[in-house]
Structure 1
Amino acid sequence: MKRGFKKLTNEAILPERATKGSAGYDISASQSVTIQPGEIKLVPTGLAVQMEQDDVMLLMDRSSNPRKRGIVLSNSVGVIDHDYFPNEFMGMFTNITDQPVTIEAGQRIMQAVFVKYGLVDDDKAEGQRTGGFGSTGEK
């Protein structure tokens, strides 16, 4: 497999594009999660993604999230590197309302867009990923 999603849990929903013209694959929550006002919380997807070495998957907020649901992706754009596989990728959301917000299992919460990237000529990166979410740069 050169690029594809892998279900890690039975509750995970394999992402699909809504139309032929869609750039993004709709990503759904695999578990119900309640986010308190002002709270930042990881929302499980139950998915891993396999990509080629020069791929990155960008997680983008759904345009309806802030207005209709009162949530936003906390880091604006999530970056999932090709060497993150086989770890589960998640969405990090902030509740921007003054009431608890519940994301239901199966609810579409973000979009995934694949992008090829380049490197500078004198790139010297030699590190190896040793963990999952937020693990690079840790000692």
Structure 2
Amino acid sequence: MKRGFEIVSKYTEQALNLPYRSTTNAAGYDFEASKDFILPSIWKLDFLKVLWSLHHNKPVTEDDLAKGSKELKPFLVPTGIKAYMQNDEYLLLANRSSSPLKRSIILPNGVGIIDADYYNNEGNEGEIYFQLINMGLRDVTIKKGERIGQGIFMPYLQADGKDERAQVRKGGFGSSGK
């Protein structure tokens, strides 16, 4: 087995689809949501009150700033899928080209990276989540089975020498860094 997808064990009875290519020459595999998910509009969050106060020279406390910036974060939409691949490969997660145009949904960092050692990790079995932000004015309901992003298997190169800081993965999402 070189590379591919599996369903995470807690979803085995949920009738999920493995990621698939929609056309013969498509580079990306379409991922679907594993359950219904409401993605709130960023325009409904309290950070707008902070922006309004700043714009109108009204007092803003450190707590207001902290709360406003904490809210403006992506939401993790589960897929119920894990990916296996060779040690010199990664899975690049990207927007579907239609998502920003049709629904105002974006990956806030533009892409996501799934490392080979994320597969079957002890933290979450390697389940892939898409980090999404809804830039639209209204909340968006993502239905189970709706395509939310795409994944592309990619090789990578390593620099000469040994990286003394590299460690064995010990957890799930976000465990490889601070």
Instruction: Map Cα deviations across residues 81-113 of structure 1 (whole Å, 9 max, x no partner).
Output: 000002101100001012111111100111110
Q: Distance in 2 between matches of 1:4 and 1:21?
A: 17
Three-state SS of the structure 2 residue aligned to 1:5 is strand
The aligned counterpart of 2:151 is 112
Q: Distance in 2 between matches of 1:19 and 1:115?
A: 19
In structure 1, the gaps of 5 or more residues are none
1:29 and 2:33 equivalent? yes
Instruction: Map Cα deviations across residues 10-61 of structure 1 (whole Å, 9 max, x no partner).
Output: 2431011112211011111111110111162100000010110001000010
Q: Distance in 2 between matches of 1:30 and 1:112?
A: 15
The aligned counterpart of 1:82 is 116
The aligned counterpart of 2:161 is 122
The aligned counterpart of 2:45 is none
* Superposed counterparts of 1:1-139, under 5 Å: 1-8=1-8, 9=11, 10-38=14-42, 40-86=74-120, 87-124=126-163, 125-138=165-178
Greater gyration radius: 2
- Runs (4 or more) in structure 1 with deviation over 4 Å come to none
Q: Which amino acid aligns with 1:20?
A: T
Q: Distance in 1 between matches of 2:81 and 2:162?
A: 30
In structure 2, the gaps of 5 or more residues are 43-71, 121-125
Is the contact between residue 84 and residue 132 of structure 1 (CA under 8 Å) also seen in structure 2?
A: yes
Report the structure, 1 or 2, having the larger helix content: 2
RMSD: 1.3
How many equivalent pairs are there? 138
Is the contact between residue 11 and residue 46 of structure 1 (CA under 8 Å) also seen in structure 2?
A: no
User: Percent identical across equivalent pairs?
Assistant: 42
Is the contact between residue 11 and residue 30 of structure 1 (CA under 8 Å) also seen in structure 2?
A: no
Normalised by the size of structure 2, how large is the TM-score? 0.74
Three-state SS of the structure 2 residue aligned to 1:66 is helix
Normalised by the size of structure 1, how large is the TM-score? 0.93
Q: Which amino acid aligns with 1:60?
A: A
Q: Which amino acid aligns with 1:80?
A: I
